[in-house]
Chain A
């Protein structure tokens, strides 16, 4: 539980992204001098709400450990400006860069660690591959191959529609967008996801990386192949309840084991 001072000092604001206002939160470091700046890249779409509680708890834990932590919402997600349909990877990458700049401006420490969950992890990787914006990278269940992710979304959407009393079409698309679990994915975003494959993307320009997987890494799986691409690679499998599919309740309680793993690794990566 966060203490009273942390609650009182939590900074909540809108800041300028590249394409409009983005919502941000800063948890100030509970130390005279911050050890580093952590920028949390949250999941998108239906996974945003599932992860919010845990990521907030992670931010508070890291603030207690002496880091200034910034959370933010991507364009068209959470409270940020715009519609979800306007979102695509290129725009969201610019949001990550803008958030890092904002986090640095609000922190006394220039050393940055990007911590991303799901698509947030993927964006953190890609943003760090474009330019040196961070010293360390934590990837929690990154989306490695967009085609696989789209298949999961399709299955989730079909499952949702089957549970309705009134039969509705299982082809939830039109010329402009396709609906997946409450969100309209633009055709541009779908094309970008289909082309996405982190195992063929450039390596992030960071000193150290941690891959956190909440499911066992099958040998040869997409996530297992990432190690060859990650500088200063560290890997942890932290078993927690299933959480990313629409019917999972795994994130109602923050998985403390996962939070402790990330905090412990950061203490070593950014002493």
Chain B
């Protein structure tokens, strides 16, 4: 294992673990893993540890760290709210990864609010050439309560339809007077409206988020959006960015993947393994594209796999 502890940020109060590849390749991007707000840097079910070591085995230097006040990182003294401090600390993580590994370009990966932070930093920092966003609940915009309520209701209605209806415990609660009948009625009405007429768009266009995605794509930043089926974030994208997603299906960037049998925090091992393979494949492809742009050295290892319109070099040792 080729890992060591790094301390950085104000008074070296931020704590991270750097996973180094055994051999350093020129022009390969560094990767920073961002946890969700209160989560330890190891990630849910230790997913970030496994992912960091898998990426390092493919030649990527990887840094995972705790945001201030979380895990082993100390608290901030300046009272900066999380939405801003997390962005600052992520950019500091890029700086320390650059200093430790010599990388000049980076990919970010985040889960839940970590995905939101990844997106924000990608928008701000030109060194970021790629981002993987897992179950991102939102991007830049703060939406109004009416939009959020509608998204929540649709998500709840689908949850009842896909999960609760098939669970005898839910029926037992319903028949024994222990269900939340107001919620149930709301979910049923939401679904009924959807069946009787096509749902009206909640908002014709979320200009800020759509523009941000557009700018990132113009900068050739590679984006991979991964959602668990039924995730709130997937409903958000459908409702708020729906028209743009149809464009993405043509341009292949951002790439959107929906994983069956996965929950919000990647509990199942099979989900973790699938997402890990997806990220390593995508990261290797991103690195190849970057090398083609910069005229860098040939890809490091592995056989050829053709998927869709891409030909990727991937390792068979995942």
Q: How far is the CB of A63 from chain B (nearest CB, A)?
A: 13
Nearest A residue to B259, CB-CB? A166
A residues sitting closer than 8 Å to B (CB atoms) are 1-2, 4, 6-8, 10, 12-14, 20-21, 23, 25, 46, 48-49, 52-53, 56, 77-79, 81, 83-84, 160-168, 179, 181-184, 246, 252
Residues on the A chain within 8 Å of B173, using CB: none
Cross-chain contact of B77 among A4, A48, A49, A83 (Cβ < 8 A): A4
Whether A162 and B167, one on each chain, are in contact in the complex, defined by CB atoms closer than 8 angstroms, is: yes
Beyond A14-B3, A181-B267, whether A56 also contacts B72 by CB under 8 A is: yes
Q: Is the CB of A7 within 8 A of B44?
A: no
Question: What residue in chain A is nearest B262 (Cβ atoms)?
Answer: A164
Check: B7 CB closer than 8 A to any chain A CB: yes
Let me know if A165 and B162 touch, CB within 8 A: yes
Selecting from B10-18, B22-30, B85-93, the interface stretch reads B10-18
User: B17 CB to closest chain A CB, in angstroms?
Assistant: 5
Residues of A within 8 A of B5 (CB): 12-14, 23
Question: What CA separation (Å) do A262 and B165 show in the bound complex?
Answer: 46
Listed by A's residue number, 28 A-B pairs whose Cβ atoms lie within 8 Å are: A1-B75, A4-B77, A7-B11, A7-B13, A10-B74, A12-B72, A14-B3, A20-B1, A21-B3, A23-B5, A46-B45, A53-B38, A78-B42, A78-B49, A83-B50, A160-B268, A161-B268, A162-B167, A162-B169, A164-B163, A165-B159, A168-B261, A179-B268, A181-B45, A181-B267, A182-B266, A182-B267, A182-B269
Q: Which residues of the other chain, A, contact B269 by a CB distance below 8 angstroms? A: 179, 182-184
Chain B window 35-72, contacts with chain A (Cβ cutoff 8 Å), 1 for yes, 0 for no: 00011111011100110000000000000000000111
CB distance A25 to B72 under 8 Å? yes
Secondary structure dominating the interface of B: loop
A84 to chain B, nearest CB (A): 7
B229 at the interface (CB under 8 A from A): yes
- Determine the chain A residues whose CB is within 8 A of the CB of B42 once the complex forms: 48-49, 78-79
A12-B72, A182-B266 given. 16 additional CB < 8 A pairs? A2-B75, A4-B74, A7-B13, A8-B74, A12-B7, A14-B4, A20-B1, A49-B40, A78-B40, A84-B46, A162-B167, A164-B261, A165-B229, A182-B272, A183-B46, A246-B267
In Å, the complex CA distance between A13 and B41 comes to 15
Interface hub of B7, B11, B41, B261 (most chain A Cβ within 10 A): B261
Q: Which residues of A contact B72 (CB under 8 A)?
A: 10, 12, 25, 56
Q: Which chain B residues in 143-180 approach chain A with CB under 8 Å?
A: 159, 162-163, 166-167, 169
- Which residues of chain B have a CB within 8 Å of any CB of chain A? 1, 3-5, 7, 11-13, 15, 17, 38-42, 44-46, 49-50, 70-72, 74-75, 77, 159, 162-163, 166-167, 169, 229-230, 260-263, 266-269, 272
Our pick among B11, B230, B268, B272 for the contact of A168 (Cβ within 8 Å) is: B268
Residues of B within 8 A of A79 (CB): 3, 17, 41-42, 49
- In the complex, the answer to whether B46 meets A21 with C-beta atoms within 8 Å is no
Is A165 a contact partner of B75 (Cβ separation < 8 A)?
Answer: no
* Distance A20 CA – B53 CA, assembled complex (angstroms): 15
A7 near B74 with CB under 8 A, answer: yes
What residues on A are CB-neighbors of B74 within 8 Å? Answer: 2, 4, 6-8, 10
User: In angstroms, how far is the closest chain B Cβ from the Cβ of A6?
Assistant: 8
Q: Is the CB of A8 within 8 A of B13?
A: yes
A38 shortest CB reach to chain B, Å: 17
Q: What residues on B are CB-neighbors of A48 within 8 Å?
A: 40, 42
Distance of A3 Cα from B184 Cα, bound (Å): 48
Contact call B11/A81, Cβ cutoff below 8 A: no
> With the chains together, A259 CA to B85 CA distance in Å?
29
- Neighbouring B residues of A52 by C-beta, 8 Å: 40, 71
CA distance A46 to B39 in the complex (A): 12
Q: Which residues in B have their C-beta under 8 angstroms from that of A10?
A: 15, 72, 74
Minimal beta-carbon separation of A241 from chain B (angstroms) = 15
Cα of A166 to Cα of B261 in the assembled complex, Å: 5
Q: Which single residue of chain A is at the shortest CB-CB distance from B73?
A: A7
Q: In the bound complex, how far is the Cα of B235 from the Cα of A9, in angstroms?
A: 45
> Whole-angstrom distance between the alpha carbons of A161 and B77 in the complex?
42
**A56, B40: Cα distance in complex, Å:** 12
